[in-house]
Structure 1
Amino acid sequence: MVATNTTTKSETNGTVGAFRLIKYGLLTAIAASIVNVLVLFTGLTMVEFPSEFVGGPFGPLAVGPVIGNSAVAAIGATFVYGVIARYSARPNRTFVIVAGAVLVLSFAMFLAPDVSGAPPRVFAVLVVMHATAAVTIVGVLTRVTNQEVEFR
């Protein structure tokens, strides 16, 4: 049997155009924010939450913080992806591994004082929001290297 290399051209290109990376970064921030707001609204319609978690503009399950945190995570992930794409021979594979580790570490945020003592349903929605954000971010950013462009 002959061994074949299954690495695609898009995975081995270690360069990404800055404009392309910024464009995908903005798309990632918008997509992650929309997905998380949809998950939030789905959770709010399915389960009743205590008012201290959804009340006001600054509760952990209010729309403003959800959009802000999703966008910040996506922008940070875009920066990390740019660095990985610059120095890695297989940027998509490396980024998926890093993103998985960051997802696991993000669950430590559930120990924060603003969600301490929350009922399990709040944590369940937060877990789904973190997971969907990670899937969305990885799904969009790993499309960046589908075209050979030089990073300058």
Structure 2
Amino acid sequence: MASTNAMTKSETSRSVGRKQLVKYGLIALIAVIVVNVLVLFIGLATIEFPAEFVGGPFGPLAVGPVVVNSAVAAIGATLAYGVITRYSARPNRTFTAIAGVILVLSFAMFLTPDLSGAPPRVFAILAVMHVTAAVTIVGVLTRAMNREARFR
């Protein structure tokens, strides 16, 4: 019962300070880029992908797009988390639920013309990157609220 009470207290502090949000946003940004590039390299090292999906600077399995898309996700999530902490009584729960919905919606990008004719292994590695990005970002950002409450 004590841990439930502690979590409730930590989540009832209405918002995360700007410094704390920026700090954890940067940690999330770096972590998600590292994790997704690592997943990409492991996938490329262990599975053979058609050249049209790997080659060039704009292929879905090229480092550039993975880094940019990971960064955009982390920045957007950080901004959303900042807003949610200001207006939600249970910001971590709310943020996690919204992140879950966005994760599911992110799989719609698999329907883009760029991926038409892609073999299932391309979709599998992209799906793993989406899931690891969501888990990493949520895991890092939701710690900001708990840290903020501990130091008050």
TM-score scaled to structure 1, two decimals? 0.92
* Structure 1 residues 84 and 44: alpha-carbon distance in aligned structure 2, compared to 1, 3 A threshold: same
CA-CA distance at 1:14 after TM superposition:
1.3
Flag the structure with higher helix content: 2
- Provide the rounded CA distance (Å) in 1 between the counterparts of 2:38 and 2:114: 22
User: Secondary structure of 2:4's match?
Assistant: coil
Q: How does 1:42-121 map to 2 (within 5 A)?
A: 42-121=42-121
**Percent of aligned positions with the same letter in both sequences?**
71
Q: CA deviation at 1:30?
A: 0.8
Distance 1:18 1:127, change over 3 A: same
Q: Which runs of 5+ in 1 are unaligned?
A: none
In 2, the alpha carbon distance for the partners of 1:15 and 1:111 equals 37
Determine the C-alpha separation between the residues in 2 that align with 1:57 and 1:138.
Answer: 28
Q: Secondary structure at the match of 2:41?
A: helix
Q: Displacement of 1:148 after TM fit? A: 3.4
Runs of 4+ in structure 1 over 3 Å off: none
Q: Could you tell me how far apart the structure 1 residues matched to 2:40 and 2:65 are? A: 11
Aligned residues: CA RMSD: 1.6
Given that 1:14 and 1:86 are in contact with CA atoms closer than 8 Å, whether structure 2 keeps it comes out as yes
Aligned counterparts of 1:14 and 1:5: Cα–Cα separation in 2: 19
Distance 1:52 1:4 in 2: 55
Alignment-derived partner of residue 4 in structure 2: 6
Per-residue CA deviation, residues 8-31 of structure 1 (Å, 9 max, x unaligned), is 222221111111111111111110
**Shift, 1:4, TM fit:** 7.4
Q: Output the TM-score relative to the length of structure 2.
A: 0.92
Partner of 2:39: 39
Relative distance call for 1:99 and 1:31 in structure 2 (3 A) is: same
Q: Aligned partner of 2:48: which letter? A: E
Partner amino acid, structure 2, of 1:109:
M
Contact conserved, 1:13 with 1:90, CA < 8 A, in 2?
no
* Unmatched tracts of structure 2, length 5 or more: none
